Amino acid sequence: MSSSTSVQAPPTVRSSDERRLPWYHLIFTGLAGLLVAVAVLAIFDALSVASAIMLGFGLHLLFGWGYSLLREGPRWAMDRLMTLLVIGAFAISMFPLLSLLWEVISRGLTRAIAAKPTPFSFWSEDMSGIIGGADAGGVFHAIVGTLLITLWASIISIPVGLFTAIFLVEYADQGWKRTLGRGVTFLVDVMTGIPSIVAGLFGLALFIAFMPDQSVRMGIMGAVALSLLMIPTVVRNSEEMLRLVPMDLREASYALGVPKWLTIVKVVLRTAIAGLTTGITLAIARVIGETAPLLLTVGMVTSVNWNMFDGRMATLPTFINQQYRNGNANCMNETVTNPVNQEVYACSITTNIDRAWAAAFTLIVIVMVLNIAARLVSHYFSPKLSR
Amino acid sequence: MSTTDLESDSPAPQTSSMRGSGRRVGDSVFSYLSVGSGLLIFLTLAAVAIFLTSESMPAVIASQEFSGTSEFSLIEVTLPLVYGTVLASAIALVIAIPISIGIALFISHFAPRRLASGLGYMIDLLAAVPSVVYGLWGGIWLVPKLEPVYVFLNTYFGWIPLFAGEPTAPMRNLASASVVLAVMVLPIITAVSREVFLQTPRLQEEAALALGATRWETIRTVVLPFGRGGVVAASMLGLGRALGETMAVLMILAPGATFSLHILEVGRHNSIAANIASKQAEASGVDMSLLIFTGLVLFVLTFIINALARWIVARSGPKS
């Protein structure tokens, strides 16, 4: 471990002071810690993998520190202890990510593949007529809603965000525009910090102030609320990318007599296109999983609604929340009959929770695909500015 | 757009007047569009403030403080929610800050250079997971797993007020919500701290190493003092995120409205955001404007926290 610093500690100055141990001594102390932990836990009859690892790590800190103190002296012992602590911090943070992904895949993917009545129908069915513990239904309506609302949020946010970024980089350089630019930068920072629920309240308050019906909920309200969260992300990501474009390119273009706006379109934006795509994709990935604003503004339905301007819509995040809230179902009989098309389904107590996991899997796949696509675009298509 | 395109593409010198006008039209359209977008940001935030205020006015007018009737009291409704929100976020930060600094140091100074960016990406993945999935995972998987920990804390550390009281299963208490909140703010604090740590002047670090300092001593004497402002700002940004987080709290916490310190007890606390989300479906009229009023309070709260964070960043910026 200690050998990977860029500047090597000089070879021993005083042999009593510098007796660095090779890293594999950590394995010995680690094993000792684990063994003692297992023994202690077995005596107290509380042995489990998680508790053994936790206690073992704690003991390893102690053993590693003590061993190093004896063999290397207090300064290196402290170094070793901190190295272990820092690695431990990273391991702890990986634990929720891995366990969450594992749970979502093992519970969600299974349910999505083994969906009834036909495999994979989870992604092509909606929830109309699915009552009680019926082991059927799917998220087609929610996928449609999520994609539509995100599309509209993007239609609102991307032009506004992009032009604001262009304003900040290309126009806000002198006079009153400079002052305006400072104000806009500050407000974009403020917008970044707006809690998602407040964005939802804004979407709601904006529409119920003008609508006669106080209980109005529709897709466009959700799109407006989401764009409030999306605009600042688009602005900041794009601004960063536009500032990376070298001034030389702009000046070369001006020298050829190209007007400013054409320079922006054909030189600046074209140079930054990969970065812009990445930034915008990441912004979409950020809002596509937002729940709270949609909970307030679009409500919930059981079937597909393609109209953004009329009636409630289902979305994946709110669907997960709703199914989770429903909790365990009651199973009075072996089967449940669909009142709409008279189909008969098996009854399952955990059907709601299973659907929530499968929808969570679907949502995570969408978000991860967007994230990975963004990274790939920036990796393969960004111009090589520095030769 | 297409006409101006044609004009500016035409090379003949005799069209120079047309080119000039096309240039002016294109330029002014573009200039207006971008300045307009900047102004739109102003308008949007003004609209947020105006609509939240105007829609919450009915509740303010009808409240005990203003009308004198004892229908409901703004302070009595809002204050327990603010308390719950702040307490949950504070505990989340206490958990998240040390771990985040550890991760940031691990990625910036301990991990092999080749692995560092990949590890950073793993942390970014934590930020990409939607909050509703965290809520689902926390509510179904994590809460039962935390139960033995809470029983242990309650039995042996019950003399600390925080862990006192009578926790009952399922442990849908403030502590569980805080743990999930901590996981959610971790990537934010880590990302900002990592950036700051990486900006430490290379020469200072190498000077410390050349004087024979161990890696930890280098970090303690050079990297941490340099990054202190950044870490504080990162923590405030994390706090802003935790204050406004809805779903994790909504899906995990069994709500209550007390000023209890006992974070292990169920049904004692609630947060502003979760309260809005759980009550909005049935609310209308004055109830709705009361919810919007609490939202306004949350907005102001996060605004102050974030402004403070930016101010710290700006103040510690020039020195770096």
Confidence of residue A74 (pLDDT cuts 50, 70, 90): confident
Would you call B131 an interface residue with chain A, using a CB distance cutoff of 8 Å? yes
- According to the model, what pLDDT value does residue B318 have? 45
B298:A83 CB<8 A: no
**Statement to judge: residues A315 and A202 lie in one domain:** yes
The secondary structure of A231-287 as a DSSP string is: HHHHHHHHHHHHHHS-HHHHHHHHHTT--HHHHIIIIIHHHHHHHHHHHHHHHHHHH
Query: Measured between CA atoms, how close is B319 to chain A, in angstroms?
Result: 21
At A337, give phi and psi (nearest 5°): -105, 135
User: How far B101 CA sits from the closest chain A CA (Å)?
Assistant: 8
Residues A261-317 pLDDT 10s:
999 999 999 989 888 999 999 999 999 999 999 999 998 888 899 988 888 999 999
Indicate the SS3 state at residue A205: helix
Query: Locate tokens 């006992």: which residue?
Result: B262
pLDDT of residue A30: 85
Q: pLDDT per residue over A155-171, tens digit each?
A: 999 999 999 999 999 99
* pLDDT attached to residue B21: 56
Is A203 in contact with A294 (CB distance < 8 Å)?
no
Q: How far apart are the first and last CA of chain B?
A: 45
Whichever domain contains A184, its CATH number is: 1.10.3720.10
pLDDT at A118: 79
- What's the CATH fold of domain B72-316? MetI-like fold (1.10.3720)
Q: Determine the Cα–Cα distance for residues A312 and A284; give it in Å rounded to an integer.
A: 22
pLDDT band at B103 (very low <50, low <70, confident <90, very high): very high
The answer on A318 and A248 residing in a single domain is: yes
Q: Do A88 and B212 touch (CB under 8 A)?
A: no
Nearest residue to A316 via CA among A358, A283, A274: A358
Q: Which residues pair with A287 in a beta bridge?
A: none
- A-B interface: how many C-beta pairs under 8 angstroms? 280
3-state secondary structure of A152: helix
Please name the amino acid found at residue B146.
L
Confidence (pLDDT) at A173 = 85
The token duo for B8 is 């500016």
pLDDT band at B310 (very low <50, low <70, confident <90, very high): confident
Q: Do A89 and B141 touch (CB under 8 A)?
A: no
Do A211 and A350 lie in a common domain? yes
What's the token pair of residue A37? 């932990």
Q: Which residues contact A59 (CB under 8 A, 6 or more apart)?
A: A32, A33, A34, A36, A37
Mean pLDDT of chain A: 86
A354-371: average pLDDT: 93
Residue A130 lies in a domain: no
Say which residue, B290 or A5, is predicted with more confidence.
B290
**What is the nearest CA distance from B191 to chain A, expressed in angstroms?**
13
**A270 close to A250: Cβ distance less than 8 angstroms:** no
Residue A60 lies in a domain: yes
Q: pLDDT-derived band of residue A5, with 50, 70 and 90 as boundaries? A: very low
A209/B55 Cβ within 8 A: yes
Is residue A84 in a domain?
Answer: yes
- The lowest-confidence range among A56-60, A377-381, B234-238, B245-249 is A377-381
Q: How far apart are CA B295 and CA A239, in angstroms?
A: 30
pLDDT tens, residue by residue, B133-190: 999 999 999 999 898 889 989 999 988 888 888 888 788 999 999 999 999 999 999 9
Phi, psi of A356 (to 5 degrees): -60, -45
For the record, the structure tokens of B45 come out as 């935030």
Indicate the SS3 state at residue A344: strand
**Does the residue A164 lie in any domain?**
yes
CB-CB neighbors (< 8 A) of B153 in chain A: none
Q: CA dist B68 to A77, A245, A344, B64, Å?
A: 67, 62, 59, 5
Cβ neighbours of B50 in A, within 8 Å: none
Nearest residue to A347 via CA among A328, A364, A333, A365: A333
Q: In chain A, what residues touch B288 (CB-CB under 8 Å)? A: 208, 214
- Mean pLDDT for A315-322 is 94
Of A83, A172, A261, the CB nearest to B26: A261
Q: Is A277 inside a domain boundary?
A: yes
Q: What is the per-residue pLDDT across A324-338, written as a single tens digit (0 to 9) for each?
A: 999 888 887 778 887
- A228/B251 CB distance under 8 A: no
Give the three-class secondary structure for A54. Answer: helix
Interface of B with A in 276-295 (CB under 8 A): 276-277, 280-281, 284-285, 288, 291-292, 295
Is B129 within 8 Å of A364 when comparing Cβ atoms? yes
Q: How far is it, in rounded angstroms, from Cα A22 to Cα B316?
A: 40
**Higher per-residue pLDDT: A304 or A119:** A304
Verify whether the Cβ–Cβ distance A76 to B137 is below 8 Å: no
Helix (H) or strand (E) holding A20: none
CB proximity B254 to A under 8 Å: no
Q: Could you tell me which of A314, A280, A292 has the C-alpha nearest to residue A203?
A: A292
Please name the residue of chain B whose CA is at the shortest distance from the CA of residue A300.
B281
- Check whether residue A22 and residue A165 sit in a common domain: no
Sign of CA dihedral A351, A357, A360, A366: negative
Cβ contacts (< 8 Å) between A206 and chain B: which residues? 47, 51
pLDDT value, residue A384: 60
Identify which of A161, A193, A292 has the shortest CB distance to residue B247.
Answer: A292
pLDDT interval class at B309 (50, 70, 90): confident
Show the domain range for A144: 140-381
Q: By CA distance, what is A180's nearest residue in B?
A: B38
Residue A374, both tokens: 């963004």
The pLDDT mean for chain B works out to: 86
Residues A224 and A145 occupy one common structural domain:
yes
pTM: 0.87
| Mean pLDDT, residues A353-365 | 94
Structure confidence at residue B9 (pLDDT): 42
Q: Which of B270, B262, B239 is nearest to B78 (CA)?
A: B270
pLDDT band of residue A51 (cuts 50, 70, 90) is confident
Of A318, A314, A295, A317, nearest to A306 by C-alpha is A314
Chain B (20-59) residues lying within 8 Å, Cβ to Cβ, of chain A = 22-23, 26-27, 29-31, 33-42, 44-45, 47-48, 51-52, 54-55
The per-residue pLDDT for A224 is: 94
Whether residue A125 lies inside any domain: the answer is no
In chain A, DSSP assigns E strands to: 335-337, 344-346
Q: Compute the residue count for chain B.
A: 320
CA atoms within 13 A on the CB side of A249: 19
A10 versus B199: the higher-pLDDT residue is: B199
Q: How far apart are CA A133 and CA A349, in angstroms?
A: 6
Q: Clarify whether residues A81 and A182 are in a common domain.
A: no
Let me know whether A221 and A358 are in one domain. Answer: yes
Same structural domain, A84 and A219: no
Same structural domain for residues A147 and A281? yes
Q: Determine the pLDDT at residue B235.
A: 92
From chain B, the residues in CB contact with A82 under 8 A are 215-216, 219
b/e per residue B249-265 (b: at least 16 CB within 10 A): bbbbbbbbbeebbbbbb
In chain B, what residues touch A196 (CB-CB under 8 Å)?
Answer: 131, 244, 246
- A104 and A185 housed in the same domain: no
Compute the nearest-CA separation of B260 from chain A (Å): 25
Which tops the pLDDT comparison, A199 or A74?
A199
B-chain CB neighbours of A103 within 8 Å are 137, 140-141
With a cut of 80, say whether residue B3 has pLDDT above it.
no
- Choose the weakest-confidence range: A9-23, A162-176, B37-51: A9-23
Asked whether the beta carbons of residue A194 and residue B48 sit closer than 8 angstroms, the reply is: yes
Question: What one-character-per-residue DSSP string does chain B give?
Answer: -HHHHHHHH---GGGHHHHHHHHHHHHHHHHHHHHHHHHHHHHHHHHHHHHHHHHHHHHHHHSHHHH---S--HHHHHHHHHHHHHHHHHHHHHHHHHHHHHHHHIIIIIS-HHHHHHHHHHHHHHHHS-HHHHHHHIIIIIHHHHHHHHHHHHHHSTTSGGG-S---SS--BHHHHHHHHHHHHHHHHHHHHHHHHHTS-HHHHHHHHHTT--HHHHIIIIIHHHHHHHHHHHHHHHHHHHHH--HHHHHHPPP-------TTSBSS---HHHHHHHHTTT--THHHHHHHHHHHHHHHHHHHHHHHHHHHHHHHTTT-
User: For the ranges A62-66, A80-84, A129-133, B101-105, which has the lowest average pLDDT?
Assistant: A129-133
Residue A218 sits in the same domain as residue A347: yes
Q: Let me know whether A189 and A330 are in one domain.
A: yes
Q: Distance from first CA to last CA of chain A, Å, rounded?
A: 35
Residues A31-43, buried b or exposed e (16+ Cβ, 10 A)? ebbbebbeebbee
Closest CB from A163, A295, A320 relative to B34 = A163
How many domains in chain A?
2
* A336 neighbors A244 (Cβ within 8 angstroms): no
Residue in A319, A352, A231, A368 with CA at minimum distance from that of residue B127: A368
Token couple for A350: 């955990």
| Interchain proximity B41–A231, CB inside 8 Å | yes
Using the beta-carbon criterion (under 8 Å), do A99 and B141 form an inter-chain contact? yes
Task: Tell me the chain B residues in contact with residue A94 when contact means C-beta distances shorter than 8 Å.
Answer: 122
User: Which residues in chain B have their CB less than 8 angstroms from residue A292's CB?
Assistant: 131, 246-247, 273, 277
Q: Is the pLDDT score of B4 beyond 80?
A: no
Find the residue in B nearest to A288 (Cα).
B130
- What is the value of ipTM here, to two decimals? 0.86
Whole-angstrom Cα distance, residue A288 to residue A306? 17
Mean pLDDT of A232-238: 94
As a whole number, mean pLDDT of residues A126-149 equals 88
A135, part of any domain: no
Task: Give B69-92 pLDDT, tens digit per residue.
Answer: 767 788 888 999 999 999 999 999
User: Between B116 and B295, whose confidence is greater?
Assistant: B295
pLDDT at res. B1: 39
**Nearest CB neighbour to A164, from listed B27, B37, B295:** B37
Residue A129 lies in a domain: no
- Whether omega before B167 lies within 30 degrees of 0, making that bond cis, reads no
Q: What is the pLDDT of residue A9?
A: 52
Which pLDDT tens digit goes with each residue over B207-262?
A: 999 998 888 999 999 999 999 888 998 999 899 899 999 998 999 999 988 898 88
